[in-house]
Amino acid sequence: MSISLKSSEDIENMRIAGRLAAELLDYITPFVQPGITTGELDKLCHDYMVDVQHSIPAPLNYAPAGHAPYPRSICTSVNQQICHGVPGDKQLKNGDIVNIDVTVIKNGWHGDTSRMFYVGNVAPHARRLCEITYQAMWHGIRLVRAGALLGDIGHAIQKFAEAQGYSVVREFCGHGIGRNFHEEPQVLHYGRAGTGIKLESGMVFTIEPMINAGRRDIRQLSDGWTIVTKDRSLSAQWEHTVSVTDDGFEILTVSAGTPPPPAFVHGKPD
């Protein structure tokens, strides 16, 4: 499948969808407390999307080849869960870290983003993993511009994460996005510099590294969706939807509560 370049009108529609996705994470933030279940977080998000934003939760009943339909409206991945955690009866407890991954559809366009959340008092090693993962995402984002090579993004993420003593999940990657939930290109979070396709203005894709505190090996739970670390080490993920511009990038998943970029982003690339 070829890569679709978005027009300025398309990008404006994706800004709207991206802002709604980010605002959904703003909305759910105060509810992420010890004692709440991931299913309750899902219900709150679902109702906010449908009743307040008048948007469609893209994950609900999403069924790629080989998968049963996804049964919830968001993904909640707690502690050793890497991605695609299915909300349910699990209560969050003090010290947990949780990734909440949301994708909204507004006027036919997708907005996709995720953040890490701290539940109560989180241990320093867990907090560091989340912070380093956030920085890793930005080490990739800051290289985005027309004329850059896709492989440079993954190389920068891998180089930084591994230098901090962590590992990068290989089986899942960022992806093009637009009218479809998943489009080309695939955006790997590891790889060799100087490889991959050349980026063009109008490309839109996610950058969403999954970083493990232990080894990078994974396994899938019996629900057919939830992915966990094989060694049960903690995992963290952050995600933005990014558009390529002539002189850099634009983050499309921005809201009042979006964490600011790290200070190094405004410096020169490595």
Residue ranges per structural domain of the chain: 8-266
Segment 152-171 mean pLDDT: 98
**Contact (Cβ atoms closer than 8 angstroms) between residue 150 and residue 197:** yes
pTM for the model stands at 0.96
Nearest to 193, CA basis, from 237, 234, 160: 160
Structure confidence at residue 266 (pLDDT) = 79
Segment 1-10 mean pLDDT: 92
Segment 65-70 mean pLDDT: 91
The answer, yes or no, to whether residue 269 has pLDDT greater than 80, is no
Rounded to whole angstroms, the Cα distance separating 43 from 73 reads 8
The answer, yes or no, to whether residue 219 has pLDDT greater than 60, is yes
- Residue for token pair 């020169």: 268
Bridge partners, 76 (sequence order): 100
What Å distances lie between residue 218 and 62, 83, 223, 227, 236, CA to CA?
Answer: 22, 10, 15, 7, 13
The answer, yes or no, to whether residue 1 has pLDDT greater than 60, is no
Q: What percent of the chain clears pLDDT 70, i.e. is strictly above it?
A: 98
Residue predicted with more confidence, 88 or 269: 88
Nearest to 238, CA basis, from 163, 129, 144: 129
Rounded to whole angstroms, the Cα distance separating 166 from 215 reads 8
Nearest to 137, CA basis, from 118, 117, 114, 119: 114
Rounded to whole angstroms, the Cα distance separating 86 from 159 reads 31
Q: Residue 66 — pLDDT band, cuts 50, 70, 90?
A: confident
Segment 119-144 mean pLDDT: 98
Give the chain's mean pLDDT: 96
Structure confidence at residue 67 (pLDDT) = 87
Structure confidence at residue 240 (pLDDT) = 98
Segment 106-135 mean pLDDT: 98
Element (H, E) at 46: helix 38-47
Segment 32-47 mean pLDDT: 98
Segment 228-245 mean pLDDT: 98
Segment 107-128 mean pLDDT: 98
What Å distances lie between residue 26 and 23, 153, 259, CA to CA?
Answer: 5, 27, 10
Please give the CATH topology (third level) of the domain spanning 8-266: Creatine Amidinohydrolase (3.90.230)
Structure confidence at residue 65 (pLDDT) = 87
